[in-house]
Structure 1
Amino acid sequence: MFTSPRSSEHRGSDDLLTAGLGLDGLRSATPPAFAEAANPTPAELRRRAIWTNWRGIADLAPGGGYGDLYGSVAAVPGREFSAYAKVPGASQPHRVLVQLPDAFDASKPCVLVAPSSGSRGVYGAIAVAGAWGLPKGCAVAYTDKGAGTDYYDLDRQSGARADGTIGALGEVDDLAFVPDAPVNASGVAFKHAHSKDNPEADWGRHVRQAAEFALKTLNEHVPRPGGFDFGNTRIVAVGISNGGGAVLRAAELDGDWLDAVVAAEPSVYTEGRGSRAIYDYTTEAALLMPCALLDAPNLPQPPLTAQLQAMAALRCASLSQAGLIEGVDTAAQAASAHAHLRANGWTEEALRAGALSVAFDMWRAVAVAYASAYGRYQLDEHPCGFSYAMVGAGGAAHAATAAERAAWWADASGIPPGAGVNIVARPSKDADAAFADLRCLRGLWDGQGADADRVRKGVAETRAALPRKGLPVVVLHGTDDGLIPQAFTSLPYVAQAQAAGRDVRYWQVRNAQHFDAFLGLPDYGARYVPMLPYVYRALDRVSAYLDGKGRLPEDATIATTPRGAGKALTSDHLAMPK
């Protein structure tokens, strides 16, 4: 099950939790440097990947509370063990990695299993699980769940190795991802979109394999009479966003291998009760939200700059001409788009926070990659003509340089755009250049034909079932989440599970959106509270319950208070459940 094993020690100036960077190093806007840009060492890549993933998840800005009000960046000495794992039927592996602190207590063994959020690499959940578990002496098992940052350079036929360094096809035997590519293909491939495995359908099994790798690691490296197994080792799965969806999928698997689950802002799709697939509401938002936000008051700033407002007005005109909205002028068209989204379940809070996803082109980025994944398409088969390549400042695609290629594994956050890799669309002379392609993407959900059937089949494979009877599950979600709206995801999941008598508890956090990392933007920090403190508190409550020292939390709507402009976050703002 596990191949290409690696191990390393991390003590002194290179610990498990921050790679020796500490809070000041994580806060630095400058990433840890490579001595040779084109040939970074595995240790340099690891340190930079940890820096990238901390900054992509946590609010580390001064005044945001991390490190003093909640969370830990304490140096944790220990060892790391990593490998590739592959679920039955998959063509490509996923990465698994176990961090084993020196303080691990073999007499009271605990393991947190943490799938990455989004499509991040294997360190993607370090700020979620590592920050809580490692200082407490728990081992932490991570998985990139078949996504990750193992980009493949089609021009040079090379990709990431087990240690993150670059290797060429035919010259090394441990490449993390080799796509099924046509002859003379050019550009960049990445696993989530191009594995042809639809990895999201197997995210629960990826989590299970990470737990199995943790037990294997403990049995090989920690002395204990009788060894470690699911019966004598506490296993708690925790994740946010896509990672939250992954641990909920793990919760439905047979067997008593899991002791508890904590899922925050989960991307989860169920049957009925208002649940919508991420591909459905993402493609809807990509089309309508730019226009609709012109009718939405009190948007957080940035992102609706003058340039984005001009683009939004063009989108209103495109939608009107296509007969998708009504109105004779931009204001009326924006009101119509706004009304359409509200009628389809979007709340005003989700729309306001969704402005961030419009500004960063996240809706299109998700739709392009997920269409490819759900349809199990080969590189040159995308039904809407999209591909990926290195794109320069002028917008022209080019072959990656050795230095650009070397940094992908550490710098990328998963789905492009990022680390210089961008989406390449078909040429368009339209003023609203993206509109036709976005309609194509939307048509794969609500249209007809073989491609639409193919994508919808892939989406159906991701539908979640009920958690196992008796398994404690705590679900958390921000009421203002604009990327994974709770109305389409956690609310219907919890309602279905509770109606079936499953042990699911639900915290709804007022004034919390999806991205803690963006709370460093002044207006976002003033309006919104972070989600990570509630994840850590839920883990505290679950741990106490499993120790027989407390009860599981009750359902709660947490009445937080935004801190306002220029103020530091305090415990009063968080209104943390006791």
Structure 2
Amino acid sequence: MSLFPRAWLILLLAPVIAGCVSTSRTTGHSMKAADFVRGDIRITDYRHGDDLLSAGLGLKGLSGPPAPFADPQHPTASELRRRAIQASWKGIADLGPLGGYGHVYGGVPDVPGREYQAFAWIPGARQPHRVLLQVPDHFDTQRRCLVVTASSGSRGIYGAIALAGAWGLPRGCAVAYTDKGTGAGYFDYTSDTGVALDGTRAQRASAPLEFEPPAQAGAQGVAIKHLHSGDNPEADWGRHVLQAARFGLAMLDKAFPGQAPFTAQNTTIIATGLSNGGGAVLQAAGLDDEHLLAGVVALEPNIYVQGQGRALYDYATQASILLPCALSGERFAKVPLARTPEGKVPAAWTARCASLHAQGKLVGGDAQAQAESAYHQLREAGWIDNAMAVSASVTAFDLWRAITAGYASSYARTDASNMPCGFHYAALGADGKPAAATDAVRAAWWADGSGIPPGNGIGLLGGTDASGDPALAGEQCLRALWEGHDEQARAVQASVAATAATLPRADLPLFVLHGADDGLLPTVFSSEPYIAWLREQGRHPLYWKVPHAQHFDAFLPLPGFGQSHLPLMPYGYWALDRLWAHLYEAAPWPTDLPTPQGRARGAGALDAAMLDLPR
């Protein structure tokens, strides 16, 4: 899940050169394995000042201000792609001046090549998901490698490029991506437009759209694919990954017809992803009856083991209610983002303590005692102190409510007009009130959107009352969908149950890495029960609970935040290197691997010794 403010991404960047585009129908021998594709496959060459990994921006450009549109009301497909790649990099990686990207670890070399992109359907789905294959010009046909990945959070098709693309493309691997039924293909009812295959806006029925909800008389606002498709895509994230792998093989047939067929028997397929994408590749591992996958590396996965872990919706709805009060306690006074710039407890957090106390849900005669009461309730529910402390960032940015309101709609399979608890999305004017989006704002959604508003000129509305704690009513309504027994609550609970992990095959090399300080997807609810379950079932996964790492590498440049933490990405790259050595160089796959004991970055720049990675 990768949602956070974009106020620090607001300047302009010089134009760069666009790529060349052609399209191909889904016909011919190589398409037989991709019969889940409907419509055109968009084939695009990226060379001569543009490339696959950074759209020609390089590391300096990726970390700079947003790539500009020559005409903001009508950006070209190439301009949209460039900015989508840039936004995906910034949403995942620490590109800050102290973070070490590009010299301590990682890199952004120029990688010319070709992209194949299409809309694909899971059987029975109402809406498509995007699939994309990037084939570098230096693809190694002698050591055939296909990396398959799924976007992090609810991001679009490039949402894992900083992990899978950055590791695989320079190595000569092709990289297959799926947006797993998420992404910023927002449908705007006011203009009756959605997003076409090339990322530009298009009218309903004028072209195949990434997301086209049924027409509704008088419908208003904005519909979001992940939340309003009616498909509960999270239950199929593993199938999306496996379908992307099949798409990748079929497109390699198309790219290299003289070398065809490309199959799992002659092409090594490595699955990797982080956050929701990490959960997706672990789901795929459990569904891989055809043995497509040769190995899996999952970072900070959103993974749910029914009966052993806690589902995200469960602990997130609890966190949205209790954490604002708990974090107002004195024990969290020095935690980054737990206090205002003036050193005060946010007024909304103090109001939350008072509201819950008035409802009889907290004990204590003053705000500090009430904060302790909320803290102990969270501890009893399994939360640990370091996860709570780091979750101050998630709480301060109001991400718990954004996530749970959206996911509730996905799980309940409601459309945009009937979201649970009175929530809805609408474009906002300059005054923050609902208004028709301008053409420029609407055109940029696909490139800039995180996949779940608010943000980019779209607001999350409703779910509030006129009390001194207006958000509490909606948050308690969302919690009731987890604890309740009415029809909508049962629908939500059934959809969450459908996301539970299944068991991977015994001989699959599998490596899970998770930050010990993750405050969004705490290890105690996700990775740890999953790893314990695998071991109970006779599997031998590798697991690193990485000290000082948390969920959002992209948060590390925030003032006061990065000093206490380390990035998780270099550990993911190292794990992929270790898997490569096993698959291509006959290095034995270990049954155990001690977790590196790095040290927090501190006030200075990151250096390699801080990571304590094995040599």
**TM-score, normalised via structure 2 length:** 0.92
Q: Secondary structure at the match of 2:421?
A: coil
Q: CA deviation at 1:308?
A: 5.8
Q: Which amino acid aligns with 1:177?
A: F
Q: 2:452 aligns with which of 415, 419, 423?
A: 415
For residue 8 of structure 1, what is the aligned residue in structure 2? 44
Residue of structure 2 equivalent to 1:436:
473
Q: Report Cα offsets for 1:271-295 as digits up to 9, x if no partner.
A: 233x000000000000000000012
* Residues 225-240 of structure 1 aligned to structure 2 (within 5 Å): 225-240=259-274
**Where in structure 2 are the equivalents of 1:95-174 lying within 5 Å?**
95-170=130-205, 172-174=206-208
1:298 and 1:426 map into 2 onto residues whose CA distance is 29
Q: Please tell me the residue identity of whatever aligns with 2:559.
A: P
Secondary structure of residue in 2 paired with 1:493: helix
Indicate whether 1:514 and 2:548 are aligned. Answer: no
Tell me the amino acid that sits aligned with residue 9 of structure 1. D
Name the amino acid aligned to 1:373.
S
Gaps spanning 5+ residues in structure 1: where? none
Instruction: Within 5 Å, give how 1:399-548 maps onto structure 2.
Output: 399-426=436-463, 428-548=465-585
Distance 1:488 1:32, change over 3 A: same
Q: Is the 8 A contact 1:182 1:380 kept in 2?
A: no
Letter in 1 for 2:580: S
Contact 2:390–2:550 (8 Å) recurs in 1: yes
Distance in 1, Cα, partners of 2:574 & 2:444: 35
The residue matched to 1:477 in structure 2 has which SS? strand
Deviation at 1:173, TM superposition (A): 2.2
Q: Quote the Cα distance in structure 1 between the aligned partners of 2:365 and 2:429.
A: 39
Task: Give the conservation status (yes or no) of the 8 Å contact 1:242–1:266.
Answer: yes
Distance 2:165 2:463 in 1: 42
Match of 1:83?
118
**How big is the shift at 1:326?**
1.2
Tell me which residue corresponds to 2:278. Answer: 244
Asked if 1:20 corresponds to 2:20, the answer is no
The 2-side partners of 1:222 and 1:536 are apart by 28
**Structure 1 CA distance for aligned equivalents of residues 441 and 276 of structure 2:** 27
Percent sequence identity is 51
Change (3 A) 1:189 1:443: same
Counting matched residue pairs gives 574
Q: Secondary structure at the match of 1:522?
A: coil
Could you list the per-position Cα deviations for residues 246-292 of structure 1 after superposition, in whole angstroms to 9, with x for gaps in the alignment? 0000001112111000001000000233x000000000000000000
Deviations along 1:404-463, whole A, 9 cap, x unmatched? 110000010111112111201145211111011110000000122111111101101101
Counterpart residue number, 1:335: 372
Aligned residues of 1:180 and 1:379 also touching (Cα < 8 A):
no
Distance (Å, rounded) in 1 between the aligned partners of 2:409 and 2:382: 26
Cα 1:181–1:490, aligned 2, differ >3 Å: closer, same or farther?
farther
Q: Is the 8 A contact 1:22 1:74 kept in 2?
A: yes
Q: How many angstroms apart in 2 are the aligned matches of 1:280 and 1:375?
A: 14
Residues 1:214 and 2:248 aligned together: yes
The structural deviation recorded for 1:547 is 1.6
Q: Which residue of 2 aligns with 1:365?
A: 402
Give the match for residue 222 of structure 2: 188
Q: Indicate conservation of the 8 Å contact 1:508/1:556, yes or no.
A: no
For 1:37, the equivalent position in structure 2 comes to: 72
Task: State the shift of 1:183 in Å.
Answer: 1.3
Change (3 A) 1:393 1:351: farther
Q: Matches of 2:393 and 2:211 in 1, distance apart?
A: 31
Q: What is the CA–CA distance in structure 2 between the aligned matches of 1:392 and 1:526, rounded to whole Å?
A: 37
The residue aligned with 2:335 is 300
**Paired AA for residue 26 in structure 1:** L
Change in 2 beyond 3 A, CA 1:403/1:308 = farther
Structure 2 distance, partners of 1:43, 1:125, is 19
Q: Secondary structure at the match of 2:169?
A: helix
Range moving further from structure 2, 321-330 or 259-268: 321-330
Aligned partners of 2:222 and 2:425 also within 8 Å = yes
Q: For residue 13 of structure 2, what is the aligned residue in structure 1?
A: none
State whether structure 2 residue 92 is matched by structure 1 residue 57: yes
Structure 1 position 224, deviation (Å): 3.9
Contact 1:58 1:516 in 2 (8 A): yes
* Unaligned residue ranges in structure 2 (runs of 5+): 1-35
Q: Please, which of 179, 197, 201 is the counterpart of residue 235 of structure 2?
A: 201
**Counterpart in 2 of 1:575?**
612
* Matching residue within 278, 281, 288 for 2:315: 281
Aligned to 1:387: 424
Counterpart residue number, 1:559:
597
> Residue type of the partner of 1:222?
F
307-316 vs 535-544, which moves further: 307-316
- 1-structure distance, mates of 2:223, 2:215: 9
TM-score (norm 1): 0.97
- The one-letter code of the counterpart of 1:284 is Q
The verdict on how the C-alpha distance between 1:198 and 1:153 changes in structure 2, with shifts beyond 3 A counting, is: same
Deviates more, 1:297-306 or 1:359-368: 297-306
Q: Taking structure 1 as reference, are residues 101 and 387 closer, same or farther at Cα in structure 2, changes over 3 Å only?
A: same
**Distance change (3 Å), C-alpha of 1:392 and 1:337:** farther
Query: Which deviations, in whole Å up to 9, do the C-alpha atoms of 1:177-210 show, x marking residues without a partner?
Result: 1113531111100101000000000000000111
With 568-577 and 279-288 compared, the bigger mean Cα shift is at: 568-577
Amino acid at match of 1:239: G
**Residue 515 of structure 1: how far off its partner (Å):** 0.3
Alpha-carbon distance change, 247 to 62 in structure 1, aligned in 2, over 3 angstroms = same
The farther-off stretch of 555-564 and 361-370 is: 555-564
What code does the residue aligned with 1:11 have? Answer: R
1:227 & 1:247 partners in 2: Cα distance? 24
RMSD: 1.3
CA contact (8 A) 1:106 1:224 kept: no
Q: Does 1:291 align with 2:328?
A: no
Letter in 2 for 1:195: S
Q: Following TM superposition, by how much is the alpha carbon of 1:161 offset from its aligned partner in structure 2, in angstroms?
A: 0.4
Contact 2:274 2:299 in 1 (8 A): yes
Establish whether residue 323 from structure 1 lines up as the match of residue 360 from structure 2: yes
Aligned equivalents of 2:218 and 2:593: distance in 1?
56
The alpha-carbon deviation at position 304 of structure 1 amounts to 2.6
Q: 1:118 & 1:228 partners in 2: Cα distance?
A: 30
Report the counterpart of residue 396 of structure 1 in structure 2. 433
Deviations 1:99-126 (A, max 9, x none): 1000001121101101000000000000
One-letter amino acid of the counterpart of residue 41, structure 2: P
Comparing 251-260 with 175-184, greater Cα deviation is found at 175-184
